[in-house]
Structure 1
Amino acid sequence: MMFTSFDGADLLLILKGAFVTIQISALAVVLGGAVGVLSGLMAVSPWPVLRWLSAIWVSAIRGVPVLLIIFFVYFGLPLLSPGSNVPDYWAAVTALTIFASAYISEIVRGSIAALPRGQMEAASALGLSWSRTMFSVILPQASRIMVPPGVGFLVVLIKDSSLVAVIGLIELTRAGNIVASQTGQPILSYLVVGAFYFAICFGLSVLGRRYERRLNIRVETPEVSDILLPTQGVSK
């Protein structure tokens, strides 16, 4: 087999793979975040049925490897609908979305649970409904607590996205495999791939820390009385 030298075309292929990794991870966080927030709110809701549904969903997804979720979406869903086909790109996004939703749900639930119970009790005493309490009082405060574990999970998701290479999607890891087989230089190829992963994850960590500092300085925690009576002063 004839090997080619590692050149700009190989670097471009790895760069394109990195872009695909960022794409599928970003889509998974957005879509999984929407499902995760909903599931997290269900987990702290006053209705037992919703709490049970959330607990079952989170336990089921967290109890299996992400690779198994990828296999189920890519190979299993077409079997449920003979003749259908799931493109590798959307299979990756779907599997990572399912994976992300369970972990984001736990981040939301844990962040809400970390707040003093007096916040909910004060809102209830002032006559706020559960939904208004959540969206106007609890979530604005809990969002500050969600930032550190949220950034940490995003870094984990970026790295776990490498598993979608098994279904043939040319993301960062798969691109590195292709370049390594074409050039016969696996050490150089995987060093470049590792550098891309490090750059992405390190960049996210830096942005996360800056955002945390910005929240601590500029974001004020809303008072229950401010939500209920936004135009009236409250004596301190």
Structure 2
Amino acid sequence: MIDLFYWPTPNGHKITLFLEESGLDYTLHPVDIGRGAQFEDAFLAISPNNKMPAIIDRAPSDGGERITVFESGAILQYLAEKTGRFLPTALRERVTTLEWLMWQMAGLGPMTGQYGHFNVYAPEKIDYAIERYTREVERLLGVLDRRLQGRAFIVGDDYTIADMAAYPWIDVYDRAPIDLAPFAEVRRWHSSIAERPATQRAYALATEVNPNAGQPMSDEEKNVLFGKR
């Protein structure tokens, strides 16, 4: 049994994508980041960086005591190794999968997050920051678009944790949409994942957990999330 500590953000969606695809039994524990639940001692005990998602595996494969994992990329790799799914065993394909997982963790996610912050959440518009992160997100989309040419998914014919990591970070912000017109392969790939039943189940959890998902943040929520602690 997996305990998933979750809120419907791109990083949270990565883990529900995996769990819904794999069929692992899990219990979902909402972590309301707008109210500061990520700073509570019980959560910090499993996620010391006060970020969600995090998991507890109460039945690890070695039969030992429970294992806690934080950081979405580490969680995806852990669950893939636990189940033997969505991470190739062949050396070269495995290395490629982990390369693209780290590419998302180090590039696509943080840069898209900064794009969203300065376009949607910042209290004032800073043209330099908006231009800088827009260019960087477009560059990264170009990298992904070139990678997908001639491939169904990022690594090849098979859906992997690299796809699960990248998918939720494509055109995240309704109030600041990215123009995907130049990136035909990204659009094709993204649409194919959106059509998967497990993807639809994973994203349905968003409104169940947070009926206000996608709505503008209150000033109090911004204070909690953007540096008042």
TM-score by length of 1: 0.30
TM-score by length of 2: 0.31
* Richer in strand (by share): 2
Q: Which protein is bigger by CA-based radius of gyration?
A: 1
* Richer in helix (by share): 1
Highest relative contact order (Cα 8 Å, sep 6+), 1 or 2? Answer: 1
